Amino acid sequence: MSVLISGCFGFIAKHIIHDLLDQKYKIIGTVRSQEEREKLYKQFGNNSNLTLEIVEDIRKEHAFDDVFKKHSQEIKYVLHTASPYDLETTKFTEELYKPAVFGTRAILNAIEKYGSDTVERFVHTSSYAAIMDFETERVEGTVYTENSWNPDNWDQAQECASRAYNGSKVLAEKEVWNFVKEKEGKVKFKVTTINPGYVLGPQTFDEDISKKLNTSCEIINKLIHTDPSSEINPSEIYGCFVNVLDVSKAHILAFQRDELIGKRLLMSEGRFSTQDVLDVLNEDFSVLKGKIPIGYPGTGAMHHNIGATVDNSETHRLLNFKFKSFKETIDETAEQILRVENRQ
């Protein structure tokens, strides 16, 4: 039996593929183009346990039908990671809402049509964005848990790209929970959602280091390439983080462990701000000395949290493994970038 993973060319998905192949799972993955397919086959050494199918655009109503029609008897677990994390778009409905919400609907409908008896588990890559409230994120005393919900509807989410992205994620996650409630008895699968904060860490392959990285890792990449004289806002980024290797592990445990059924896993190993990233880069990489801004060392969110906090003790209890630290995570990310750029 196989694991179906959507969005296989993504930052998080590649780690999941890597870890699942290590555990000898068979994977049916979706990518957007023939070019992505060929590149991914090559990156994973033409592993015979990896089969890739093309799903060009998850916004289309029947986007996943062909894949499920073709492989319906093989697919036991579904990991739906595909969704745009793009904070530069101005077309919020086209580029954020539709792929997130319609894409989720499309994969759920395809399972109902072609895999209602075979698919047992559905793991949805949601986000901390579906948990936090844009209005209270920087209000001291706010505490988010696995039971917190971003209260925005799509109208309220129009303020900026970040808020729209958060809105797209909460509305997509609601599609999932509503679907299983409505279809009780009609589909067999059980749901777990993964709700990570900023997912940081190395790319699965060194060759994926490029001038611009995926949205979350670009936070670190951008700072590594910022001139020391530039004005930076030390709390431009303010949120919680988790290492990508831990996020990959959680996706896999989510379908392996029964106690994770019906749970939202709020993955955070603490809060950070731009300043905290600068502090680790300046402390741990001598090659960056004098090459990047210093800011105001020791004043970041790790030392002086100015807003919401996260209580994810339930997630830690359920997952029962130690998450990687901030320093380890920034070090791993920066080390790879600098190595690829021959700047060590």
Tell me if 83 contacts ligand NDP by CB under 6 A. Answer: yes
Contact 116, 78 (CB under 8 A): no
Structure tokens belonging to residue 338: 């600098």
To ligand NDP, the closest distance from the beta carbon of 10 in angstroms equals: 2
Structure tokens belonging to residue 63: 């986007």
Pick the binder of ligand NDP from 3, 4, 27, 58 (CB under 6 A). 58
169 has catalytic annotation = yes
- List strands edge to edge, sheet with 26-31: 50-54, 26-31, 2-6, 75-80, 121-125, 190-196, 264-267
Compare residues 44 and 198 and give the one whose CB is closer to ligand NDP: 198
Q: Which residues contact 193 (CB under 8 A, 6 or more apart)?
A: 123, 124, 125, 126, 130, 173, 176, 263, 264, 265
What is the rounded CA–CA span in Å between residue 29 and residue 3?
A: 8
Site size with ligand NDP, rule: CB under 6 A: 26
Pick the binder of ligand NDP from 26, 59, 113, 291 (CB under 6 A). 59
Query: Pick the catalytic residue: 169, 249, 263, 324?
Result: 169
Q: Tell me how crowded residue 322 is: count the other CB atoms within 10 A of its CB.
A: 9
Stretch that binds ligand NDP, among 4-12, 227-235, 275-283, 287-295 (CB under 6 A): 4-12
To ligand NDP, the closest distance from the beta carbon of 334 in angstroms equals: 16
Write the DSSP assignment of 215-248 as a string of letters: HHHHHHHHHHTS-TTS---TTSSEEEEEEHHHHH
Tell me if 127 contacts ligand NDP by CB under 6 A. Answer: yes
Tell me if 202 contacts ligand NDP by CB under 6 A. Answer: no
Residues in contact with ligand NDP, shown as a per-residue x/- string from 247 to 276 under the rule CB under 6 A: ------------------------------
Pick the binder of ligand NDP from 50, 199, 250, 310 (CB under 6 A). 199
What is the rounded CA–CA span in Å between residue 11 and residue 131?
A: 22
Compare residues 99 and 234 and give the one whose CB is closer to ligand NDP: 99
Tokens 């190395």 belong to residue: 202
To ligand NDP, the closest distance from the beta carbon of 4 in angstroms equals: 14
- Strand pairing class (238-243; 271-273): antiparallel
Tell me if 92 contacts ligand NDP by CB under 6 A. Answer: no
Pick the binder of ligand NDP from 64, 67, 99, 292 (CB under 6 A). 99
To ligand NDP, the closest distance from the beta carbon of 82 in angstroms equals: 4
Contact 121, 77 (CB under 8 A): yes
Residues 164 to 183: which contact ligand NDP by CB under 6 A? 169
Report the amino acid identity of residue 64.
F
Residues with catalytic roles: 169
Residues in contact with ligand NDP by the rule CB under 6 A? 7, 9-13, 32, 36, 55, 57-59, 81-85, 99, 125, 127, 169, 196, 198-199, 214, 216
